[in-house]
Amino acid sequence: MFKFASCDGCQLQLLDAQDRLLELAGRVEIDHFLEASSRVVPGPYDVGLVEGSITTAEDVERIREIRRQCRFLATIGACATSGGIQALRNWGRIDDFLAAVYATPETIAALATSTAIADHVPVDFELRGCPIDRGQLLDLLTAVLLGRKPHVPGHAVCVECKSRGIVCVAVAKGIPCLGPVTQAGCGALCPAHDRECFGCFGPSESPNLVSLTGFYERRGTPRESLVRLVRSFNAAAPAFRAESDRLEASE
């Protein structure tokens, strides 16, 4: 398990797996998982999981070395798969942020952008989510152990809402929800609590954002609210990025 710019929440999904973690530890040798243990066994490794986005020049070098060390490399979470919430910096000026946040900005060496791991090295599998779903992570590891494809569908969150019998918040309450264009995996967590989907799992397999945001706009949602809705945890995922840029350009 390797960490880049991230909050560690995705790694915690594995630590929180409790009895399943013990089961996993009985099947694999965990050589590098600093969140769990300071014991580090040098590579090469059979499987590498990467959390976080690339935000420094050192990161670029380190991910290349990790890629060389791992036979199978999977990225986990919104940061690793799309740049994460910190990719909001991609729309601003890095120097402005540094000056606003740090007392001595000249000591900070950060890239101007936050980017996905796959922008830098080939990735064998991506697990979406902010954070990832524990069940999907365990399924991915099971799939690797058993030599099958992971059960990670690309369809929309709506499948999970309808499967659970959750009443659609967009249709019944007029709440602009990203569920119809967001990949499933969370189990429809937010709609189950009467909130819209925030797009934590990134774009679904065939997202039609232009149609959805156009419908919400005709129903009275201001364009700037739609930009904020699409530009969040997966702001830099290509389909979401293109849509927030399109909405902003036509504002």
**155 in contact with another protein (CB under 8 A):** yes
Binding segment toward another protein, per CB under 8 A, in 4-12, 42-50, 203-211, 243-251: 203-211
Judged by beta carbon, residue 4 or residue 240, the one nearer another protein is: 240
Q: Give 21-43 as a 3 state SS string.
A: HHHHHCCCCCCCCCCCCCCCCCC
List CB contacts of 114: < 8 A, sequence separation 6 or more.
5, 53, 54, 55, 79, 83, 84, 86, 87, 89, 90, 236
List the interface residues with another protein, window 10-49 (CB under 8 A).
20, 23-24, 27
**189 in contact with another protein (CB under 8 A):** no
Of 73, 130, 158, 227, the one binding another protein by CB under 8 A: 158
Binding segment toward another protein, per CB under 8 A, in 81-89, 121-129, 155-163, 228-236: 155-163
Q: What is the rounded distance in angstroms from the CA atom of residue 50 to the CA atom of residue 65?
A: 12
40: left (phi over 0), alpha (psi -120 to 50) or beta: beta
CB of 46 to another protein, least distance (A): 15
Burial class (CB in 10 A: 0-12, 13-18, 19+), 90: middle
Binding segment toward another protein, per CB under 8 A, in 42-50, 88-96, 126-134, 138-146: 138-146
Q: How many amino acids of this chain bind another protein (CB under 8 A)?
A: 43
**154 in contact with another protein (CB under 8 A):** yes
**172 in contact with another protein (CB under 8 A):** yes
Q: ∠233-118-90 over CA atoms, to 5°? A: 45
**206 in contact with another protein (CB under 8 A):** yes
Give the interface with another protein as residue ranges (CB under 8 A).
Answer: 20, 23-24, 27, 138-139, 141-142, 145-146, 151, 153-156, 158-159, 162-174, 177, 179-181, 194, 204-208, 211-212, 215
